[in-house]
Amino acid sequence: MRTKRVRPIALPIALILSASLLAGCAPQEDAGLVIYSGRSESLISPFLNEFTALTGIKPDVRYGDSAALAAQLLEEGHNSPADLFISQDAGALGAISEAGLFATLDDAILNRVEEKFRSSRLDWVGISGRVRVLAYSPERVKNLPTSIDQLTSPDYRGRIGIAPTNASFQAFITALILSRGESAAGNWLEKLKANAVKLYERNSQIVAAIDAGEIDLGLVNHYYIWEVSKALGREIAVANGFFAPGDTGNMINVAGVGILSTSSKKGSASELLAFLLSEAVQRGFLEDTHEYSLVLKDANPQGLPPLSQIPAPRVDLSLLANLSKTQALLMKVGLI
Amino acid sequence: MPRRPARPSFALALNLTSLLAFLAASLPLFYLLRRALDAQISEIALILFRGKTLEILATTLGLTAAVTACASLIGVALAWMLFNIDFPFKSGLQALVILPVAIPSYVFAYSWILLIPGFKGFWAALFVLVLATTPYVTLTTLAALRRSDWSTYEVSQTLGLNGWQIFARVTWPQIKNSVAAGSLLSSLYVLSDFGAIALLGVDTLTRAIENIYRGSFDRSSASILALILVAISALLIRLEERSRQKLNIVKSSARIITKGVTTGKLRIKLIALLAINTYLALGLVIPISQLLSIFFANSTSINYSLLSKASLSTLLAACLGALIALALALPVGVLSAQGSKLGKVSDKAILIVHALPGIVMGLALVSFGSSIGWLYQSLLLLSFAYALLFMAKAVGSVRSSVARVPENLIEISATLGQKKSATFRRVVIPLATPGLLSGTLLVLLAAMKELPATLMLKPIGFETLATQMWSYTSIFRFNEAAPYALLLVLVAAIPTFLINRPDKGDGLGGDRI
Amino acid sequence: MTSLEIRDLTVQLGSREVLKNLDLYISSGLFAAILGPSGCGKTTLLRSIAGLITPKGGAIRFGKQLVSISSLVLPPHKRNVGYVPQEGGLFPHLSVEENVSFALGRRVSRKEKQEIVEQLLDLVGMPNYQKKLPQELSGGQQTRIALARALAMKPAMILLDEPFAALDQTLRAEISQEVVALLKSSKTTSIMVTHDREDALVSADIIALMRDGQVVQSGSPSEVYLRPISAAAAESTGDILTLPARRIGRNKYLSPLNSPVEQIGKQVGFESGQILVRPEEIVLMDEPDENLVSAKICKINYYGHDALVELDFTGLSQTIRARVTDTKGLVVGSRVFVSHKGPFRWMPEKATGE
C-alpha cells in the first residue's frame, strides 16, 4: 500500500504567490473620501450611492461599532486616514471632539439642526434622533410609572430589564448625573439594582424578553420594538411608553457626524454632511430605521409623537462624552 | 545534546525570525504598558481593588477553570472513543468533532438563546464554551493517541489490565502532554472570548475591557484590566509547562498505527456512538439547524456575488495570516524544541498574548500601523494581525512535531552531505508536516471567524464572511446573516476534512499536532 | 578510499568521559570491525568519526586530511562519510528510490539518478524496490537500502553501526556476508561497530577491540584471537579460561592443568600470574596418563556441531570448560584426563591489572 505524501513546500508557496498576485492586482484606487461609519452598511450605503450619483464623489467606508471606531480614531490620532466619522451615538462623537480631532463645521451645516442636537464646540452635528423610552408589555403593565423613581418600588421588583453596558443606557445615566448629581444618580442605581433589575447585553434582547414574558418593562431606545418585530417577522406584544414630561427617562440622544481635523478633503466631506441633512435623506432615515429626523421637525416615525412633542428633558449632548464618571459609578454600584 | 557547528547563516535566519516573532508578540504588551502608564496611580488602585474587579476576576477564573476541566474531560473521552472503537465512517466522525472550531462563539450562543428563552448566565456560558473549545482537546488528544506506542497496549492487555487500567496506566502517560496543550488552548480561548460571554451576560475580564472601551474610551483603565488578563494567561502557561514532561516515546515498531483496540462489544459501541452524536448534535447540528431555520423563516434572495467574494476574501486573508503565523511559529517552535532561550521566550510571549481580546490586539496594531501609511489597513497588516492573534494555536504543535523528528535522521542527513538548511527542508519539515498543517489549520479556522480586529484593520471595501455577517446581525437582519455563517462553517469544513485523515499517515505513524 | 587515523581522542558526554585517549589506525580500503561490549563507547567512536560529536581532544585524520582537532571540527556534511546507523535510519517519508538518491545533488540529472539508484539496488540485491516505502521493508532490507544510500555518495569511508543486529539468525550470516563482500569489492574503507564476536571475526580485515573507551588491541582476526594482550582482550573475541599459574623455572610455568607452559610476550620476572586458555585448546583423554591431571565431568552442554564440557578439578574452585567436537564416551560424573594443545598465554600478575 503506497501512501500519498504531502508536498510540504509547494502548497504554501503556491498560496503565497496567488495571494500576493491577488493583492497586487487589486487596483489601489486613489483614496476617496474615507468615512468611518458606526452606522451599518445597509442603512447608509443607499444614501451614499445617491450622493455619488449626484456629485461624482465616491466615499470609501469602514464600517464598525461606533465606540470601537472612536477608540480606533483616538488610537490613530493625527495619522488617521479618515475624513468623516458617522457615529450612532453622541458619546463617541464627544470623545473625538474632546480629543480635539474634529474640525469646526460650517454654520450652514450647523444651522440645519437645533442647537441642542449639535456639539457646543461646533465640531459635530446630529443627523438623526433616538428617544429613550420605557418599553412595556401592554398586557401585563396597566399603569405606567410616571417617573424613573417609581421603577425602584417593590411593584416592579424583578420585572425591569436594562442594558448597562450599552452606550445608550450609559448616556442616560450620564444625563441623570448631570441633572441630579452623582450621589443621587448612584442612589437610584443602587435601588434599581436592589429591586432585582435584570441585566442584558443589548436593547433588542430586552424588547425580545418583554415579548417572551421574561420581564415586563425595559429602558431602551424607541426604535427597538420596530427592529425586533421586523427581525422576528411578526407583530410583538411590546409598546413604547414615556415618563412624565421632563423626566430624564425621556431624553433624546442623536446619531451624528463630524469631520476629522486631519482630513485633506474637508470640502467633499462638508458636501456629504450637507447631503445627509437634506430633506430626502432625512425622510429616508425616518422610514428606513424609524429614527427621528432632526431636520423635518414635524415628521414622526409611525406610531410615535413628533420630536417636538416628546416630553424630553434638556440635556447638553456635548457633555455625554464624559462617560468615565458614569462607568465608575456603574462599576461602584456593580452593574458593570 | 551534543553541540554541533551549524552553518551560521541558517542558524542566524532562525534566530532572527524568532526574534521578529518575539517582537511581534510583545507589540500588544508594549502597547498595553504604554497605555496603562497613562493612568494615575490612584486610578489604577481604584480599578484593581474595587469589589467588582475581584468579582470579575473570580468569575473569569471560575469560568476558565470549569470550561477547561469539562472540555478536557469531554475532549479526551471523544478522542479515546474515536480512536479505540470501530465505527462506520470513523474518519468522517473524527473530522466532524473538530468542526465546531469553525463556528464563532457568538453563533453558538445565539443559536442556543433562540432555542431556549432566558438562556444566559454562568452556566449557559460554561455550556456554550465547552462545546466551542472541546475540539482543541479532541484534536491534540487524537493526534497523541495516533502516535502512541501500540505494542504497549497489547502488552498491557496480556498483563491482565482491564480497559480502564490500560487507560490510566498506559494511555494517559503517553497522551498527557498533548491533552495539556489542548487544554491550554481551550482556557486561553475562554479568557479572550467576547462574543458568547457578552450575549450570555457573564462578567469576565474581556467583557469588562470591551465595556470600558465602548463606554468611556478610557484606554488606560482598559489596559490595566488587559494586563491582569496577561498575568492570568502567563500563570496558565506556566502550569501547562510544568505539567509537560519530557516524554520520549520509543516506538518498538515502525509500522503505522491507525486502528485502536477494536472493542467489539455492541453495548459499548452504542454508548460511545450515542456520546459522540450527542456532542455533534449540541455542538454542530443545533447551531447549524438554527442558522438554517433563521435563513428559511424569512427567506430573502441571496446576493451570490457578494457571498462568493466574501468567501474568497476570507480565505485569502486567513490563508495569508495562517502562512505568516506558520513562518513565525516555525523558527520559534524549532528553537524552542532545541531548548534555545530565545525560542522559549518567544514561545511564551506568543502564548501570553493569545489571551488578549481581539479589540486590544486590534487597537495595538492600529497604534503601531497607523503611522505607516502604506501598511495601515492593508491586506498585509490584516494578515499579520491574524498571525499575531492566532499563532499561539500553531506554536505548540510546531514545537512538539519538530521535537519529535528523530535526531538520528537529522544526523544521517548530515552525514549524507546535507547542510543544516537542506536537512531542515528535506527531513525536518516533511516529517513535521502533519503537525505543522494541523497547527496552521487551527490558525486558519480562527482567522476566518475573527471580527473585531478585522473591522479595524481590513482594507476598505474588503469584506470577509465575518464582517458581512456582523453587518447584518448588528441591524438584526439575522436571516440575511445566516448564509454567511453557514458558508463560514462550510468553507472551514474543507481544510478540516482534508487534514484530519488518519489513513493518509506519514512514516511517523499518522503523526498530528 | 582513505585511511583513518585517530590519535588521543577524548570524548566527554555530559559528565562522563566516554572515550579516553583513544588511538586507532585503519589502512585504506580495509574492512574494520570495532568489537566491544555495549557501553564501551564504540558507537560514540563511530559518531565522532562521522562528525556527529565534537570531541574534547585528540585528532582524527582521513588520509592526510585533518577532520577533527580541538580548534577545527569539520561538520558531518563536509566529511563525505557514509553512515549506516542501527536499523538503517531510512527517511520514513521518502521512497526507497528517494532515500537512495538523497545525497545526490541537484547537478545530477533525473535520469542519472535513476540509473545510479538502479545500479545500487542491484548491488544490494534489491532490484525493483524503487517505489517501496521504508515501513514496507523488513529489517534486513532496510539495512541494505541504508547501505545503498550511503554508497550513492561515493563516500571516502563507510561507517556501520551494528548493521546486522536487527536481522534474525538465519538471514544474518547470508546478509552479512553479502554486505561485507559488497563493501570489500567496492574498496571503500569500512568500519563496522558490533558487539558480536562472530560478525567481527568472520568479516573484518582488521579488528579493534574496545574496552572502557579505549582500543585495547587491534590486528587481524587471527592475531587478536590467538594472541590477546590481556584477559579482557581475549574475552572480547571468544570464550576464555583464566587459570592461576606460577613460575617453576625459566620460561616454565605450572598451571592447575599441571603442565608447563610457554610464555607469550616479553613479560618476565614474575613468580605468579595467570594463563589464558581457549576452551577448544583443552583436550580430554579417557586413557590415564600420569603426567596429566584428572577431572570430573559435571555437565555437558551439547550444541550440535560441538559441545562444551564442564570439568571439576580437585583443589580448583572454578569449573573449566572444554570445547569438544565429539562427545562419544563422555559421561557426566566420570573422570577424564586433561591435556592441551597450542601455546598457553601467560599473564604475569601485574599485567592483568589485579
Q: How far apart are CA C328 and CA A35, in angstroms?
A: 110
Domain boundaries, chain A: 33-129+253-308, 131-251+323-333
ipTM higher than the 0.90 cut: no
The 3-class secondary structure across chain A, one letter per residue, is CCCCCCCCCHHHHHHHHHHHHHHHHCCCCCCCEEEEECCCHHHHHHHHHHHHHHHCCCEEEEECCHHHHHHHHHHHHHHCCCCEEEECCHHHHHHHHHCCCECCCCHHHHCCCCHHHECCCCCEEEEEEEEEEEEECCCCCCCCCCCHHHHHCHHHCCCEEECCCCHHHHHHHHHHHHHHCHHHHHHHHHHHHHCCCEECCCHHHHHHHHHHCCCCEEEEECCHHHHHHHHHCCCCCCEEECCCCCCHHHCEEEEEEEEECCCCCHHHHHHHHHHHCCHHHHHHHHHHHCCEECCCCCCCCCCCCCHHHCCCCCCCHHHHHCCHHHHHHHHHHCCC
- Mean pLDDT throughout B369-374? 84
- Mean pLDDT throughout A88-107? 91
Q: Strands C282-285 and C272-277, how do they pair?
A: unpaired
pLDDT for res C53? 87
Q: How far apart are CA A258 and CA A87, in angstroms?
A: 8
Q: pLDDT band at A3, cuts 50/70/90?
A: very low
Q: Is the CB of A2 less than 8 angstroms away from the CB of C93? A: no
Could you give the domains of chain B?
A: 7-38+302-513 (1.10.3720.10), 49-288 (1.10.3720.10)
pLDDT for res C330? 83
Q: How far apart are CA C3 and CA B316, in angstroms?
A: 58
pLDDT for res B247? 52
Q: For residues A87 and A257, is the Cβ–Cβ distance under 8 A? A: yes
Higher pLDDT, A292 or C171: A292
Could you give the domains of chain C?
A: 4-236 (3.40.50.300), 239-348 (2.40.50.140)
The dihedral built from the CA positions of residue A10, A12, A17 and A22, taken in this order, carries a sign that is positive
- Mean pLDDT throughout C195-223? 89
Q: Which three cell numbers stand for residue C298?
A: 559435571
Order of all β-strands in the sheet with C65-68: C16-26, C4-13, C57-62, C65-68
Q: How far apart are CA A5 and CA B366, in angstroms?
A: 41
pLDDT for res C5? 92
Q: pLDDT band at B509, cuts 50/70/90?
A: very low
Q: Is the CB of A23 less than 8 angstroms away from the CB of B478? A: no
CA-based nearest residue in chain A for residue C132: A2
pLDDT for res C191? 93
Closest of B201, B203, B221 to residue B212, by C-alpha: B221
pLDDT for res A288? 83
**Does C79 score more than 60 pLDDT?**
yes
Quote the minimal CA–CA distance from B263 to chain C in Å: 26
Q: pLDDT band at B254, cuts 50/70/90?
A: very low
Q: Which three cell numbers stand for residue B439?
A: 497547527
Helix (H) or strand (E) holding C18: strand C16-26
Quote the minimal CA–CA distance from C100 to chain A in Å: 18
- Mean pLDDT throughout B23-35? 90
Q: Is the CB of A327 less than 8 angstroms away from the CB of B215? A: yes
- Mean pLDDT throughout B282-286? 92
- Mean pLDDT throughout C222-233? 84
**What count of other Cβ atoms lies within 10 Å of the Cβ of residue C236?**
26
Whole-prediction pTM? 0.81
Quote the minimal CA–CA distance from B5 to chain C in Å: 6
DSSP, collapsed to helix, strand or coil, labels residue B202 as coil
Q: pLDDT band at C259, cuts 50/70/90?
A: low
Report chain B residues whose CB lies below 8 A from the CB of C94.
430
Q: pLDDT band at A153, cuts 50/70/90?
A: very high
Report chain C residues whose CB lies below 8 A from the CB of B408.
85, 89
Q: pLDDT band at A304, cuts 50/70/90?
A: confident
Q: How far apart are CA A94 and CA B492, in angstroms?
A: 41
Higher pLDDT, C72 or A179: A179
Report chain A residues whose CB lies below 8 A from the CB of B371.
79
Q: How far apart are CA C78 and CA C50, in angstroms?
A: 10
pLDDT for res B216? 66
DSSP, collapsed to helix, strand or coil, labels residue B442 as helix
**Does A4 score more than 70 pLDDT?**
no
Q: How far apart are CA C212 and CA C217, in angstroms?
A: 13
Among A28, A33, A75, A236, pick the best mutation site for testing chain B contact (most B Cβ within 10 A).
A75
The 3-class secondary structure across C76-92, one letter per residue, is HHHCCEEEECCCCCCCC
Range of weakest confidence among A286-300, B241-255, C85-99, C158-172: B241-255
- Mean pLDDT throughout C201-229? 89
Beta-carbon contacts of B507 under 8 Å, excluding residues fewer than 6 positions away, are B254, B256, B431, C91, C92, C93, C133, C134, C135
Maximum alpha-carbon separation in chain A: 84
pLDDT by residue (tens digit) across A197-212?
A: 998 888 888 999 999 9
Q: pLDDT band at B213, cuts 50/70/90?
A: confident
CATH topology of domain A131-251+323-333: D-Maltodextrin-Binding Protein; domain 2 (3.40.190)
pLDDT by residue (tens digit) across A67-94?
A: 889 999 999 999 999 999 999 888 889 8
Quote the minimal CA–CA distance from C99 to chain A in Å: 14
Q: pLDDT band at B326, cuts 50/70/90?
A: very high
pLDDT for res A145? 93
Among A4, A5, A9, pick the best mutation site for testing chain C contact (most C Cβ within 10 A).
A5
Q: How far apart are CA B198 and CA C56, in angstroms?
A: 63
How far CA B283 is from CA of A90, B134, B200, B386, in Å, comes to 40, 9, 17, 25
- Mean pLDDT throughout C72-98? 87
- Mean pLDDT throughout B375-397? 90
pLDDT for res A217? 95
pLDDT for res B259? 46
pLDDT by residue (tens digit) across B73-105?
A: 999 999 988 888 877 788 888 888 988 888 888
**Does B484 score more than 70 pLDDT?**
yes
Q: pLDDT band at B505, cuts 50/70/90?
A: very low
pLDDT by residue (tens digit) across C278-294?
A: 888 888 887 777 777 77
How far CA C323 is from CA of B63, B184, B269, C309, C319, in Å, comes to 77, 66, 62, 6, 13
Q: Which three cell numbers stand for residue A336?
A: 458593570
Share of chain B above pLDDT 90, in %: 30
Report chain A residues whose CB lies below 8 A from the CB of C133.
2-3
Q: Which three cell numbers stand for residue B350?
A: 506568543
Report chain A residues whose CB lies below 8 A from the CB of B320.
15-16, 19
Q: Is the CB of B416 less than 8 angstroms away from the CB of C153? A: yes
pLDDT for res A107? 92
Mean pLDDT of all residues belonging to chain A: 86
B-C CB pairs within 8 A amount to: 89
Q: Is the CB of C85 less than 8 angstroms away from the CB of B411? A: yes
**Does C208 score more than 70 pLDDT?**
yes
Partner A contacted by C187 (CB < 8 A): no
Long-range pairs for B32-35 at CB < 8 Å and ≥24 separation?
B32/B223, B32/B226, B32/B227, B32/B230, B32/B360, B32/B364, B33/B223, B33/B227, B35/B219, B35/B220, B35/B222, B35/B223
How far CA C23 is from CA of A22, B115, C191, C352, in Å, comes to 64, 81, 15, 21
Higher pLDDT, A58 or C140: A58
- CATH number of the A33-129+253-308 domain: 3.40.190.10
Q: pLDDT band at B507, cuts 50/70/90?
A: very low
Chains that touch B (3 or more CB pairs under 8 A): A, C
DSSP state, C15? T
- Mean pLDDT throughout C83-97? 88
- Which of B229-243, B264-278, C166-180 has the highest mean predicted lDDT (pLDDT)? B229-243
pLDDT for res C284? 84
- Mean pLDDT throughout B453-473? 88
**Does C145 score more than 50 pLDDT?**
yes
Q: How far apart are CA B341 and CA C172, in angstroms?
A: 47
pLDDT by residue (tens digit) across A159-199?
A: 999 998 888 898 899 999 999 999 999 999 999 999 999 98
- Mean pLDDT throughout C318-322? 82
CA-based nearest residue in chain A for residue C94: A5
Those of residues 5-24 in A touching chain C at CB distance below 8 A are: 5
Q: Is the CB of B217 less than 8 angstroms away from the CB of A170? A: no
> For cell 454654520, what's the residue?
A107
Q: Is the CB of C93 less than 8 angstroms away from the CB of A5? A: yes
Q: Is the CB of C93 less than 8 angstroms away from the CB of A3? A: no
CA-based nearest residue in chain B for residue A93: B217
pLDDT for res C261? 55
Mean pLDDT of all residues belonging to chain B: 83
pLDDT for res A262? 93
Decide whether A33-129+253-308 matches A131-251+323-333 in CATH topology.
Answer: yes
Q: For residues A81 and B378, is the Cβ–Cβ distance under 8 A? A: no
